[in-house]
Structures are given as C-alpha cells and as structure tokens.
C-alpha cells in the first residue's frame, strides 16, 4: 500500500492522508472510503483505529482518505462562520471532489465513530455519490447526554462487570459496601431504563426515519454498536421493531471507541465481510436485531 499526505479543499486548508492499495484496476465503478473525525480527535482516530481501518481497506482494494475537518488536527480554521453541522457536510463533499479529481473515483463509502458517524449519515443523505456507510456507535441523534439511554448503557456495564468482579463481592461480604446504597442505586438505574419507541425526542425519531430511508437507497450500510455505548438504546427507542430493517452488528463487552484490541479485531472482521458488498464477493452479512 501507499500513503500520501495531501492538502485539498477551498484554499488547500484541509489536511489528510490518502492510503492507496498496492495495485488497483482503473474502473469507472471503483469505490473509495472516506473516514470522518471522531469528535475533536484528529484523523488517526481513537487509539489510531482510523489508520488501521485505512490500511485494512487498502488490503481489500479500496483507496481511502482520512482527513481533519476545519479547526481539528492539522486543518486550518474556517473564517466564514458556517456552523459545523453544515461545514462537515461541505468538507466531506470536498474530500469526495478531491478523490474524484485525483483518483477518478465517483462512488464513496463514508465511515466514522461517534460524531463521525453522524457526519457520515448527514453527508450520505445529502450526496448521491455516497453508496455505502459504516456508522460506528453513532452519537445520540438528538438525545441529550445523561438521558435514559446513557443510564441503560451504564447499567449494562456495571451489571456485567461488577457482577463478575471477585473484589466487588468481597467488599459486599465484608460490609464495605452498604446493601441500602446498592439497592438505592439499582432502583435509580431501573427508573432510567430507555423507553420504547414513541418516547424518543422528535428530532431523534425524525433522524431514525431518515436513517431507514437512507438504508433503502445505499448499496450497503452497517451500523456497529458496542454493548457499553448508548447508540444501541437510541436505535431501539427511535425505531422499535423496525430496527431489524438495518444491518446492525453488536460487539459485546466493547466500549464507545473500541479501546480493547480484541474488540478492534472483531470490528475489522465485520468490515472485511461487509466490504464484500462492493468487491463482488457474496456478502455473508445479514440484518440482525439490536435488542438485548
């Protein structure tokens, strides 16, 4: 594979890295991958996972571009006052323009974690050059931090980790943790369980409907949800039984940014098999229900 640092966009202010496969056929139906920033992290992604994904995509035959939005990492700051919700779409489109001009690619897959997933979704919804999307732990889609969705994710984490931790049980048996406190905390968490569909925010439900419509248009889309992230709870609340229409992949014991190496390896397996949708090989991925 080959990696090249590039400048593009209006005034050449956007900085990114293009990863090309060692060889590729110059065909009109080629598809390239674009990785969008996860929050304020620059283009290597959390734990350098975007670098690993770009190199995986190169081994599978895809050119990819991971870059920094304006004001993040090495990219310059925008001076036109355009809000991020709009500028992220414009700059993702400039990334597509750049690959079209320099690599002759006219079809794209967008990928991102957290806010990068939301930017991928919004750009795909706005630009028909996008034919695929990988949304990894998309952030709350209109739900506020501290809502019932976050409480349910915390409950899964502490219920599984705390119950399996020998030291936690030793503290209980020694009386170092009060049963009244445990009961009070447990009741608080139970009251905060994510509601079923119909109680998500209006914005959340609207985006959920748009997500289903986009899923119908794209050649391939996969939503990857970690057990200890609340993206799973948002999908269930916003879509109800219709979440089964999405290709949702669930990674148990994984956190928001796939910190543990084994969870990264599992994610890479998901991406490898899913990419067969675009390489001509039969896809082994089937829609899965996200509820647990």
Are 140 and 152 in a shared domain? no
Position 282 scores a pLDDT of 44
Q: Containing domain of residue 13, as a range?
A: 2-144+196-279
Domain identity same for 237 and 177? no
- This prediction has a pTM of 0.81
Both 152 and 131 in one domain: the answer is no
Domain contains 289: no
Here the CATH number for the domain that contains residue 33 is 3.40.50.1820
Whole-number Å distance between alpha carbons of 156 and 56: 31
Number of domains the chain is built from: 2
Residue 286 lies in a domain: no
| pLDDT value at residue 16 | 98
Q: What is the pLDDT of residue 206?
A: 83
Contact indicator for 283, 274 with CB cutoff of 8 Å: yes
Are 119 and 228 within one domain?
A: yes
**Is residue 91 within 8 Å of residue 33, measured between CB atoms?**
no
Domain boundary at 136, 158, 191, which? 191
CB atoms within 10 A of CB 93: 18
Closest CA to 118 of 94, 136, 100: 136
Per-residue tens of pLDDT for the chain, all 292 residues: 999 999 999 889 999 999 999 886 666 578 999 999 998 999 999 999 999 999 999 999 999 999 999 999 999 999 898 999 999 999 999 999 999 999 999 999 999 999 999 999 999 999 999 999 999 999 765 455 445 554 555 555 555 555 555 665 566 566 665 555 555 555 555 454 444 444 556 777 788 899 999 999 999 999 999 988 888 877 887 788 889 999 999 998 899 999 999 999 999 999 999 998 887 654 434 444 333 3
Q: Are residues 180 and 267 in the same domain?
A: no
Residues 135-169 as b/e (b if ≥16 CB within 10 A, e otherwise) read bbbbbbbbbeeebbbbbbbebbebeeeeeeeeeee
- What does residue 251 show for φ and ψ, rounded to 5 degrees? -110, 110
Domain annotation covers residue 292: no
Residue 285 belongs to a domain: no
Residue 264 and residue 206 share a domain: yes
pLDDT for res 57: 96
Residue 203 lies in a domain: yes
């Amino acid at each position: 594979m080959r990696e090249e640092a590039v400048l593009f966009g209006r005034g050449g202010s956007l900085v990114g890295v293009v990863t090309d496969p060692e060889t590729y056929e110059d065909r009109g139906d080629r598809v390239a991958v674009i990785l969008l920033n996860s929050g304020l992290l620059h283009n290597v992604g959390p734990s350098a996972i975007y670098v690993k994904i770009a190199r995986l995509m190169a081994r599978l035959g895809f050119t990819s571009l991971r870059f920094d939005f304006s004001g993040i990492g090495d990219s310059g700051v925008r001076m036109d006052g355009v809000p991020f919700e709009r500028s992220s779409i414009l700059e993702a489109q400039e990334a597509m323009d750049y690959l079209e001009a320099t690599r002759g690619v006219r079809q794209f897959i967008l990928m991102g974690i957290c806010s990068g997933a939301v930017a991928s979704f919004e750009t795909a919804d706005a630009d028909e050059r996008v034919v695929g999307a990988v949304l990894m732990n998309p952030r709350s889609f209109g739900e506020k931090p501290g809502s019932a969705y976050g409480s349910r994710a915390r409950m899964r984490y502490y219920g599984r980790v705390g119950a399996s931790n020998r030291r936690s049980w030793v503290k209980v048996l020694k009386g170092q943790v009060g049963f009244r406190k445990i009961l009070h905390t447990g009741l608080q968490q139970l009251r905060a369980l994510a509601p079923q569909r119909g109680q998500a925010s209006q914005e959340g439900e609207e985006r959920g409907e748009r997500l289903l419509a986009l899923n119908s248009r794209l050649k391939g889309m996969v939503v990857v949800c970690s057990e200890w992230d609340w993206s799973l709870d948002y999908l269930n609340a916003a879509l109800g039984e219709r979440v089964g229409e999405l290709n949702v992949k669930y990674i148990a014991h994984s956190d928001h940014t796939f910190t543990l190496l084994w969870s990264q390896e599992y994610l890479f397996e998901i991406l490898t098999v899913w990419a067969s949708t675009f390489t001509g090989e039969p896809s082994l991925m089937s829609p899965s229900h996200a509820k647990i």
